[in-house]
Amino acid sequence: MSKTPGKTPRTPRRILESYTIKGSDGVIRPGDSVLMKAPDTSKPPYVAKIEEIEAAGPRGANVKVKVRWYYRPEESIGGRRPFHGEKEVFLSDHQDVQSADTIECKCNVYSFRDYTKLSAVNPEDYFCRFEYKSITGSFVPDRIAVFCKCEMPYNPDDLMIQCEECSDWFHPACIGKTIKEAKKLENFTCEGCVAENGNGNGVKNENSHESTGESDEKQVQSKRRRR
C-alpha cells in the first residue's frame, strides 16, 4: 500500500479531562486557574484560566493547554492605578495555546466579594472584578462604585473609615489622618455631615475596616455611588 506523496499523517489528538502538573501532584481541569512560567524569569508568572487540555504525539506525550490570559493592571493599556489591589487581575479576551510544561501550579482567582471575605490571603490567591478587552483597552463593567472625597473605587488593600451619618467611606489621608490615627478613632463624622447637621463634635460610633474578614462584606454592600 502506498502513501499519497507530499502528505504527512495527522497526529492523533485527544481532549483530556484533566492533567497532572509535572513535578507535583496538582491536577488541573478546564475552568481552573494556573500560574505559568514567564519567558523572562525576572518577571512574575503569568496568570491564566484553562479552557481546554489536549494531548498529541506518541502516546499523548505532547500536552498543550488552551488558555485565556489574566492581565495584571501594569500589563493593561492604562497601567496600574491607585485603586488596583496588589493581587488584582483582569480576565482578558486574549487566548493562546501553550505547552502544559510551562504550568507552575494551580492558583485561585476569586470574585471581588469572595476575596474581601478571606481571613488570610495566600501567595496563590488573586481576585478579578473586570473583564479586559486587550485590543481596545476597555473594561467590563466600565463603571464601578466610587467612594471618599477622592471618588476612587475601593482598593481592598487599603484601610477605609465609614461615616455613621451618610455611611460613605473615606481614606485616612483624605481626611487628614494617618493610618495609625485612623485606627485609634472612636467616632467619625465626615466634614459634609458636620456642615449639614451642625454636629461639630462628630460623636458617632467609629467604623473602620481593613481588607479582610466579614466586615468587608458590609463595605462592599454599602458602597453605592457610581462613576
205-171-159-204 Cα dihedral, nearest 10 degrees = 0
Pick the CATH number of 14-143 from 2.30.30.490, 3.40.640.10, 2.40.420.20, 3.30.56.10: 2.30.30.490
| Whether residue 153 has a cis bond before it, omega within 30° of 0 | no
pTM of the model: 0.77
- What is the C-alpha to C-alpha distance for residues 53 and 31, in angstroms, rounded to an integer? 10
In this structure, are residues 16 and 55 in contact, taking their beta carbons and an 8 Å threshold? yes
- What is the C-alpha to C-alpha distance for residues 190 and 188, in angstroms, rounded to an integer? 7
> What tens digit of pLDDT does each residue of 13-58 get?
889 999 999 888 789 999 999 999 999 989 999 999 999 999 987 6
E-assigned strand segments in the chain: 13-16, 19-20, 27-28, 33-36, 46-56, 62-71, 90-99, 103-111, 125-128, 131-133, 138-140, 160-162, 169-170, 207-209
pLDDT at 216 exceeding the cut of 50: no
Domain 159-199 has CATH 3.30.40.10: yes
Q: Where are the domains of the chain?
A: 14-143, 159-199
Highest-confidence range of 23-27, 67-71, 156-160, 211-215, by mean pLDDT? 67-71
